[in-house]
Structure 1
Amino acid sequence: MKIRDKIDKVLGNILAFIMAVMVINVLWQVFTRFIMGSPSSFTDELARYLMIWVGVLGAAYVSGKKMHVAIDLIPRKLNKKNQIKLKLFVNILIILFCLTALVVGGIRLVYITYVLEQYSPALQIPLALVYLVIPISGIIIIYYKVSDIINKQLL
């Protein structure tokens, strides 16, 4: 569990850092727009990309902490043994979804935007960097779910 704790800590720190940068960015946008009368050209785009990173990495973080939204109507009606079986099945489905949609699909998206040399309009950064969070998050979620299965932490 030491590796998982380190991943949690690093991921939490990254999310806190991104949120801090996002707050400073939005404050700068408000300052330049209303105080200086000339809005900054990059702040809107940067805030959008930081929000994407916070949302997608945040989903991985809460998945690892088991704080994600879940409907537990069916599991509550099952006995402990069947709850564990259902949770195992759900974790396998999550792993398959993350592998196909987030990791494989995300890598394809990153690759396509990299090959096509797509850049953001204001910041002029490769959009592949923005989309890179998708496969990263998928890998982290897969790690968490496999770790839960191996360590029998299904409830």
Structure 2
Amino acid sequence: MSHRQVARQILTFEKRLIDGLLCLLLVAMIVLACLQIGLRTFFSSGLLWADPLLRYLVLWCGMLGAVVATREKKHIAIDVVGYLAPEQVKPWIGLVIDLFSSLVAAVLTWAAVIFVRNEVLFGSYPLLTVPSWIWNLIFPTAFGLITIHFLLAIAADIRLLASQSSRGNEAGSGP
């Protein structure tokens, strides 16, 4: 099996895992929120741990949603320069944007690792006997995956530029 096939299988596994986890988190959030509403409406009580858990679930959904948006190239982008640039320059602009984005995501990953390390050392109260640092592992995980997806986009940009360059050389080397 070639390294491309292995990489493709890993990316397929990652896609299915994150998409499935997002669906599971969304269902859990809906069920838990409806349960809280029902308990408060009909019994004037609720589950003490439900609201903090819902906050973490929203955070996890948001971060995993950002990973999916980056993977699908549907993340927020301000691309005025790329919109106005000539077609032959757009792949270069895309490469620069992906390089910058991967650098920012890598820095955020590092900052998130430091944050989680500090949570391990000085963490706050656990929720459902799970230490706070485990709930916050989503930050380095999501930013790390976003970094990987931007690095894959850089590789695709380079392949595109290389194919355009080889086509240009073939067209220019005619009789």
TM-score w.r.t. length of structure 2:
0.80
What is the CA distance between 1:143 and its match in structure 2? Answer: 1.2
Asked if 1:109 corresponds to 2:115, the answer is: yes
Which residue identity lines up with residue 46 of structure 1 in the other structure?
L
Specify the alignment match of 2:134 in structure 1: 129
Structure 2: distance between partners of 1:62 and 1:83: 21
Other structure's SS at 1:80 match: coil
RMSD between aligned alpha carbons? 1.7
Residue 124 of structure 1 and its aligned partner are, at CA, apart by: 4.2
Q: Structure 1 CA distance, aligned partners of 2:132 and 2:102?
A: 26
Alpha-carbon separation, structure 2, partners of 1:71 and 1:145: 16
CA contact (8 A) 1:32 1:39 kept: yes
For the residues of structure 2 that align with 1:96 and 1:140, how far apart are their CA atoms? Answer: 13
Residue of 10, 15, 21 corresponding to 1:8: 15
Aligned to 2:67: 60
2:87 to 67, 80, 83: 80
Q: Deviations over 1:105-154 (max 9, x none)?
A: 1111111111124224x534311112110110111111111112213377
Counterpart code for 2:119: T
Question: TM-score when scaled to structure 1?
Answer: 0.89
Size of the alignment, in residue pairs?
152
Separation (CA, whole Å) in 1 of partners of 2:128 and 2:9: 38
Counterpart of 2:27 in structure 1 is: 20
Q: Please, which runs of 5 or more residues in structure 1 have no aligned partner? A: none
* 2:88 counterpart SS class: helix
Q: Which has the larger radius of gyration?
A: 2
Question: Unmatched 5+ residue regions in structure 2?
Answer: 1-7, 161-175
Q: CA deviation at 1:11?
A: 0.9
- C-alpha displacement at 1:69, in angstroms? 2.0
1:147 matches 2:156: no
